[in-house]
Structure 1
Amino acid sequence: MPSTDASTNSQPSPTGTEPSTTSDDTLDLRLPPEFLALFAEEGADASPADEVTAAPDARTLDEHDRPADLAAPDAHAPAVRPWPTDLVHGYPPLEDLLDGVSGWGPTATPVGAFQLVPVVLERDLALISGWMNDPAVAAFWELDGDLSVTADHLRPQLDGDGRSVPCVGLLDGTPMSYWEIYRADLDPLARHYPARPHDTGIHLLIGGVADRGRGVGTSLLRAVADLVLDRRPSCTRVVAEPDLRNTPSVSAFLSAGFRLSAEVELPDKRAALMVRDRALRDRL
């Protein structure tokens, strides 16, 4: 690589001969001693505030340097997760990227009043881990093991940007299922099918054995799909991708008004792509 040292970068000679590599052409300016002394005195009196410094990187601003709208929250204010800023409108987004799952509220179903409650790790970890260790669940979720296995699955969602919200499903006030409501268009799943903006995905497991095989899953899937379509006006489709081998799950989705759109090869399974369209919700 050519050197960038100024002493070796010569300019073409005005006469067209080879460029000179000596300093004979350099203009030697000698400043009067009085002039140099004047600048030396001013430099000694200069304060650090007079020095030119680089503009601070916005990522390193502390709470005293931040503009008012970026200041650290008041110590007595409730903790707020640092959701990304909405670059379109300049306002903070809702509490997640799914139009506020925590505020969706309860809904009536043929099997009772149902509500999605976002996971609180300290409260729900042992319960969800117990469900994951049920052999019938572990065969497809593959999250059996000690508490840390389930915790490692939940934390990225809880600490993420809100594109996936893990929830406990309450039926008449009793926790009985685990759900993940997620932005399918922002998920790796979108690489495997023609995703549309705001496609919303569902993952589900029924925790209690007594609630399996008697239509509870079908009723809840239909209810949650309706919740998504009611609470997310921008969403035109609810999607799911159960393992194609999980016949009871695929059957429950079909009975809940989903259609089998395609079979897709995902990194960890061959899946049935199930879709519930807003336009067909009253027909299926």
Structure 2
Amino acid sequence: MPPTDASSDTGSHSSVPTGLGTEDTLDLRLPDELIKLFGADDPAIGHQPLDRGADDLLDTLAGWGPAPTPLGTFQLVPVRLERDLTLLTRWMNDPAVAAFWELAGPESVTAAHIRAQLTGDGRSVPCLGVLDGTPMSYFEIYRADLDPLARHYPARPHDTGIHLLIGGVAHRGRGIGTTLLRAVSDLVLDNRPRCARAIAEPDIRNTPSVSAFLSAGFRFSAELDLPDKRAALMIRDRTLRHVL
């Protein structure tokens, strides 16, 4: 689970955390997609590959289209390694990004991270964030309810997670992270009608990132002890999206 890095705006396993409000009560019914994913590798259940055509795990993200923002027209464009690897590797080697993403190194490091998503089952889609035609950020849109993250918080079916980094120094420190987080979470909620919540889990030490999420309409729900970090669980609820 790479950390969400909205520091873009500035330069041990645990059980379900305490202190969660009743609105975060665990839905004990496993999503059908998760049952299929388990069944695909379980001889007792039989080989049941997902029918990606009939049940796209992220509702055909490539077709979501552009979104207007105060900064210009923004669009999520799925990554193509042959086109985007050099740019993404440069961003991953920026010290401000590497401190939280931990993917600094040669192109092979970035390629391995992205290829694992591109060749996976579709539960995570790596995307360039393109603003007025210029690639300037990187997003991972993922099914939080089907991710290992779901072991650490009371997940609900179709919870959709967001990881973010802003690539260029010129785009940091001006509130751009907040604008993009609101735009992307709006895209999620507009295009995934079964999704009631957008989820993020930035490193709790990354206070600019947490602040950007709060300013973008997310609420702080809990602190989570994840295998690689202590995280702030941030949630943007469909029912509160026009209030916060």
Q: TM-score, normalised by structure 2?
A: 0.79
**Distance across 1 between alignment mates of 2:81 and 2:221:** 35
Q: What amino acid maps onto 1:93 in structure 2? A: A
**2:6 maps to what in 1?**
none
Q: What amino acid maps onto 1:169 in structure 2? A: G
Q: Does 1:260 align with 2:220?
A: yes
SS in 2 for 1:169: strand
**1:145 maps to what in 2?**
105
| Deviation of the 1:84 alpha carbon | 2.2
1:241 aligned to which of 178, 201, 211:
201
**1:13 maps to what in 2?**
none
**Distance across 2 between alignment mates of 1:229 and 1:126:** 31
**Distance across 2 between alignment mates of 1:165 and 1:106:** 17
SS in 1 for 2:225: strand
Matches within 5 A, 1:8-19: none
SS in 2 for 1:244: coil
| Deviation of the 1:93 alpha carbon | 2.5
**2:54 maps to what in 1?**
93
Q: Hey, which bits of structure 1, 4+ residues long, moved more than 4 A?
A: none
Q: What amino acid maps onto 1:136 in structure 2? A: A
1:169 aligned to which of 129, 133, 150:
129
Q: CA RMSD in A?
A: 1.0
**Distance across 2 between alignment mates of 1:208 and 1:108:** 21
**Distance across 2 between alignment mates of 1:231 and 1:199:** 13
Deviation per residue, 1:2-54 (Å, 9 max, x gap): xxxxxxxxxxxxxxxxxxxxxxxxxxxxxxxxxxxxxxxxxxxxxxxxxxxxx
The sequence identity of aligned pairs, in percent, is 77
Q: Does 1:84 align with 2:79?
A: no
Q: Does 1:136 align with 2:96?
A: yes
Deviation per residue, 1:177-226 (Å, 9 max, x gap): 00000000000000000000000000000001111110111001001000
Specify the structure having the higher radius of gyration (Cα). Answer: 1
Q: Does 1:272 align with 2:232?
A: yes
**Distance across 1 between alignment mates of 2:189 and 2:118:** 23
Q: What amino acid maps onto 2:130 in structure 1? A: L
Aligned residues: 196
**Distance across 2 between alignment mates of 1:195 and 1:84:** 21
Q: What amino acid maps onto 1:265 in structure 2? A: D
The higher-RCO structure (CA 8 Å, 6+ apart) is 2
**1:77 maps to what in 2?**
none
**1:190 maps to what in 2?**
150
**Distance across 2 between alignment mates of 1:178 and 1:85:** 28
Deviation per residue, 1:234-274 (Å, 9 max, x gap): 00000000000111111100000000000000000000000
Q: What amino acid maps onto 2:149 in structure 1? A: L
Structure 1 residue ranges without an equivalent (≥5): 1-82, 87-91
**1:16 maps to what in 2?**
none
Q: What amino acid maps onto 2:111 in structure 1? A: A
**Distance across 2 between alignment mates of 1:242 and 1:224:** 16
**2:45 maps to what in 1?**
none
| Deviation of the 1:85 alpha carbon | 1.6
Q: TM-score, normalised by structure 1?
A: 0.68
SS in 2 for 1:113: strand
Structure 2 residue ranges without an equivalent (≥5): 1-48
**1:281 maps to what in 2?**
241
**1:112 maps to what in 2?**
72
SS in 2 for 1:210: helix
SS in 2 for 1:85: coil
SS in 1 for 2:209: helix
| Deviation of the 1:282 alpha carbon | 0.7
**1:199 maps to what in 2?**
159
**1:127 maps to what in 2?**
87
Deviation per residue, 1:55-103 (Å, 9 max, x gap): xxxxxxxxxxxxxxxxxxxxxxxxxxxx8227xxxxx325x41001100
**Distance across 2 between alignment mates of 1:259 and 1:85:** 35
**Distance across 1 between alignment mates of 2:59 and 2:82:** 24
